[in-house]
Structure 1
Amino acid sequence: MAVPDHSIDPRIIESARKEFLEKGFEKASLKSICEGAGVTTGALYKRYKGKEDLFSATVRQTVEELYSVASQRGDRELSLMSDEELIKAWDMDHSDMMWWFRYLYDRHDDFYLLLACSEGTRYSRFAHDWVALLTKATSAFLEEAKRRGLCRKDVNPDELHILLSAFWTTIYEPFIHHFTWEQIEAHCHIVCRLFNWHQALGFRTTEPGQESSLSP
């Protein structure tokens, strides 16, 4: 019985990634991808149903890793968090932001594919769907803070989704515009100064000598 030749699989994926990055999904050519990988179209179709299946295979690992880290970071028993921990969860921490930028920069090409080259695939709404996923997770933190009277009570999930969309746009854009790592480092400082979640959501201050403010 013939043993399937898996040695060409990485070549197909790398050729596909290059083609999708240069032309986007809709204009990408399976013929060009096969030529770049040095394989026949028959060999490609033995492995993938078509161009969209190949695009999904190209970004699959990055998508799985993103969703995994989102799940891990949001998986906390909120009832066990102190008031201070809940408030601190909304800090615009520079080191945490740099962690996100580095994490995404290490997956630069696939992240760009998802944001800018996925029209016509199941990932065409990735930017929106990613924010929707994070809104669901973040809403739990906000609802717990509201339940304890730590912040404004009039911020609903739709409002939070809009705010997170604006926030994540500042993360998406450097990748769409092909920022260098040095540019991203400088950009991170600006983003941290731009977003003040404590003020926007009316969180009670924990700074000594300052009055609490929960008003809109």
Structure 2
Amino acid sequence: MKLTDTQKRILEVGKREFLEKGFKDASLRAIVKEAGFTKGAFYGYYNSKEALFDALVAPAADELIAQFKQAQQAHYELVTEDKTGQSQDLSTSYLNYFINYIYDHFDAFKLVICCSEGTRYANYIHELVELEVDQTEDYYQQLRQLGKLEGTVNRDLHHMITSAYFTAVFETVAHDMSREQAIGYVNELAVFFNCGWSGLLRFK
């Protein structure tokens, strides 16, 4: 749906306010005043401050989760194709795709990671971690049944490691790294964590 000039102005000013103050401290009154419109004009587009925040972040943040779920499914396809040895390479490939997607929508993810307290996105990283752990636990179980995995990892430890990994990836956004820096950083991160997983799980 095409945005009106009024809507574009509200989004532009709202993004600046949220980035500067975070969702909780951002002032709807200040947004409306700076945008040069009445509250009535604002409410014609968004029924609350949170609805405005959602409009700024939901398209990118929700799409990343959808793509993340597709990436998880791709690992199950390795099982049926007897290519499970390529699992870590596939994960790294998707990681590069995701970091570029994040940087294509940098401001939206900056809002999610740094400014979302008080919104449904405040636990965004945790939700990704839960998705990853749930699916990976099931994937590892399938590998064990096929005799392709020897080691085991307690779920609590699995969650801790995954949380550390995801938090580290999003540190690129929190610290305003350039895209080039971020890509180099997360690829080195992938090497580090892949070595750790290989040591713990003993893939065959």
User: TM-score by structure 2 length?
Assistant: 0.85
Which residue in the other structure is 1:99 paired with?
Answer: 97
Which residue in the other structure is 1:46 paired with?
Answer: 44
CA RMSD of aligned residues (A): 2.4
Secondary structure of 1:47 counterpart: coil
> In 2, Cα distance between the equivalents of 1:80 and 1:154?
20
Which residue in the other structure is 1:126 paired with?
Answer: 124
> Cα 1:17–1:26, aligned 2, differ >3 Å: closer, same or farther?
same
Q: Which has the larger radius of gyration?
A: 1
Structure 1, unaligned stretches of length 5 or more? 205-216
Secondary structure of 1:166 counterpart: helix
Report which of the two has the higher share of helix.
2
- What's the CA shift for 1:203? 1.2
Contact 1:86 1:141 in 2 (8 A): no
Contact 2:133 2:162 in 1 (8 A): yes
- What's the CA shift for 1:79? 7.1
Residues 62-88 of structure 1: CA deviation (Å, up to 9, x unaligned): 122112201221224837725852232
Which deviates more, 68-77 or 20-29?
A: 68-77
Count of residue correspondences = 200
> In 2, Cα distance between the equivalents of 1:79 and 1:105?
28
1:63 is aligned to 2:64: no
Secondary structure of 2:7 counterpart: helix
Which residue in the other structure is 2:199 paired with?
Answer: 199
Secondary structure of 1:152 counterpart: coil
Which residue in the other structure is 2:30 paired with?
Answer: 32
% of aligned pairs identical? 33
Contact 1:91 1:198 in 2 (8 A): no
> In 1, Cα distance between the equivalents of 2:71 and 2:162?
16
Structure 2, unaligned stretches of length 5 or more? none
User: In structure 2, what residue type is equivalent to 1:200?
Assistant: L
> Cα 1:113–1:198, aligned 2, differ >3 Å: closer, same or farther?
same
